Structure 1
Amino acid sequence: MTTIAEPAVEAPALGLHTDLSNEAYHADKTSLSSSGARKLLPPSCPAKFRWEQDNPQAPTKTFDHGNAAHARVLGRGAELVLVDHDPWTTKAAKAEVAEARARGAIPLKRADLDMVDAMVATIRQHPLASALLDPAYGAPEQSGFWIDEASGIRRRVRFDWLPSIQGGRLIIPDYKTTTDASNEAMQKDIAKYGYNQQADWYEDGARALDLGGVDAELLLIAQEKKPPYAVNVIGIEFGSRVIAEAKNRRAIEIFAECTESGHWPGYADNEPNYLALPGYAENRDKEIYL
């Protein structure tokens, strides 16, 4: 049986926090985030959610690139440190990388730092993306905590960017880095990564925190990591949001149930899962053998 680890620090107060660190935000294990909600549902399971909460993963190259771009585009985040060695396998390079990570910075090679700077320049030249992320009319990395009325659990959200002007509809931009920002690729990513669930979660958070009334809307700002660093601003279609709301509600219920019981199940507990062939394989084999 897996149980919830006791929080190392006091949970942040309910409401909006404008200066809460990323570390303090993620340290709150008593609340459920959008990414956590997605991890509770298939094809994942509560056991994997609990493990990842209690065992943070080490940074990867892709993770570093995304965080570095976020820091430069949004104007807040980890320090970026140039480790100007090629390769990074030398003793001196390893020492600089370790020192940077020890203080929470992101070590980058010269080419990676140049890539991030070029991505930022492209964002600033994009009419819609630059308007959505205009530092004169908003602020980055805003965290919110609230109580879910239906279940009583704590929920949390960390907005990439929150506009400061609240007149009219609240548009919440969320910055994503990707290898392919085309409509076709992003449609698949919405399904793969549950970005429709993220949109519903963030908009629900904005309403619960009284930030933008009932008309809050999340827009994805997707940017490719290779020249010309193309940008695509994407909204989530209504039908996808309806599905997302139902999935998020089920994830909240699972979190509440597991929190109360202290049990975070894997894929099957008391009886087997009976599986059919994938649709394509069943159709193929029917034609050949039946």
Structure 2
Amino acid sequence: MTTDIEPGLYDIPAELYHLDPVPGGSLSASGAKLLADCPARYGYLLDHPQPYKPAFEFGTAAHTVVLGDGPELVVVDEKRWDTDEIKARVVAIREAGGVPLKPEAYQRICDMAEVIATHPEASEILTPGSGVAEQSAFWPDGEIWWRSRFDWLRPDLIGDYKTTRSVHPDYLSKAVHELGYHIQEHVYRRAAVELGLLPEGAAFKFIYQEKQPPYLVTVAELDPVARHVGGYLTQLAVGRYLYGRDTGHWPAYAETSTVLSLPPYIERQYV
């Protein structure tokens, strides 16, 4: 596969990264998550890119303040955002690459950043000058190209900041599974190793923070089983990606009639 992109780390805007500058396309952790679940969903999104979702703006803004890198944040100090004038102003801000925020949302994000700064482990990971934020990586792997975007990259570890509803351990374990964070970790580790940025086995730290007061913080690492499953699912995604790319066919969960069973925990109550 030929491409104008050389393997390496790039300081480029998030918009360019998400547009995928690799000729012929590349696979990301987000794409791998979809492929591991249902190739048909991935195939649909190839032809039907999703429209912009303002719901993501809070997380983007939090990343900007906490990591010190990102789009311009513009506070729109108006009680109502449903008038034609304010709607037009908000659209203009977004078209210029900024993030419009209500004053209370911006204050909440600033308060979250203050909590991060007082958390011993999270603040140490994100010490200004210890790493670089929002770096995009591109690298070849056999027949495909990969891309990933690091939140925080240091010479000794990868830091990934996530806002969440809860930092309760049970909730986070479920989130890792449902949101594919174990796949993301595997892909990002591969990027760092393949590009010579970090050695095998370097630390990968998730920094989770709740979006409501008191903005609790948890720093977590995945255990060996979660990392193994992440690697397995990534390879499954690669196989499905190659098949779909070569054939144009992206299978659904089941393409013929199937027999359904009750969940095992229900069956155990009766059998």
Query: Above 0.5 in TM-score?
Result: yes
Paired with 1:246 and 1:235, the residues of 2 have a C-alpha distance of 18
Matching residue's letter, 2:174 = K
Would the alpha carbon gap of residues 89 and 23 (structure 1) be closer, same or farther in structure 2, given more than 3 Å must change?
Answer: same
Name the residue aligned to 1:5: none
Matched, 1:33 2:28: yes
**Residue 263 of structure 2 corresponds to residue 275 of structure 1:** no
CA contact (8 A) 2:65 2:113 kept: yes
Residue 12 of structure 1 and its aligned partner are, at CA, apart by: 5.9
CA contact (8 A) 1:46 1:266 kept: yes
Q: List alignment gaps of at least 5 residues for structure 2.
A: none
Quick check: 24-33 or 11-20, which moved more? Answer: 11-20
Choose which of 114, 136, 143 in structure 2 pairs with 1:143. Answer: 136
With the length of structure 2 as denominator, give the TM-score of the two structures. 0.92
Q: Which residue of the partner structure matches residue 238 of structure 1? A: 224
Pairwise CA RMSD: 1.8
Structure 1 alignment gaps of length 5 or more = 1-9
The CA distance in 2 between the partners of 1:129 and 1:84, in whole Å, is 31
Matched residue, 1:59: 53
The question of whether the paired residues in 2 share the 8 Å contact of 1:146 and 1:156 is answered with yes
CA distance in 2, matches of 1:58, 1:144: 23
Structure 1 residue aligned with 2:200: 214
* Contact residue 7 and residue 140 of structure 2 kept, 8 A: no
8 A contact 1:203–1:217 mirrored in 2: no
Q: Which one of 73, 78, 86 corresponds to residue 93 of structure 1?
A: 86
Structure 1 length as normaliser, TM-score? 0.86
- Counterparts of 1:135 and 1:18, CA distance in 2: 20
In 2, distance between residues paired with 1:238 and 1:111?
40
**Partner deviation per Cα, 1:136-186 (whole Å, 9 max, x = no partner):** 11110111111113xx211111111111xx3xxx31000000110122211
How far apart are residue 26 of structure 1 and its match?
Answer: 1.3
Counterpart residue type for residue 91 of structure 2: A
Whichever residue aligns with residue 17 of structure 2, its letter is: Y
What is the letter of the counterpart of residue 153 of structure 1?
A: I
Aligned counterpart, 2:14: 22
Please tell me whether the aligned partners of residues 40 and 254 of structure 1 are also in contact (alpha carbons under 8 angstroms).
Answer: yes
**Match for residue 3 of structure 1?**
none
Q: How many residues are treated as equivalent by the alignment? A: 266
What is the alpha-carbon distance in structure 1 between the residues aligned to residue 45 and residue 165 of structure 2?
25
SS in 1 for 2:65: helix
Rounded to whole Å, the distance in 1 between the matches of 2:244 and 2:200 is: 30
2:39 aligns with one of 46, 57, 64: 46
Could you list the per-position Cα deviations for residues 2-57 of structure 1 after superposition, in whole angstroms to 9, with x for gaps in the alignment?
xxxxxxxx966132233122111111261111111011122xx1121133344123
Corresponding letter in the other structure for 1:120: A
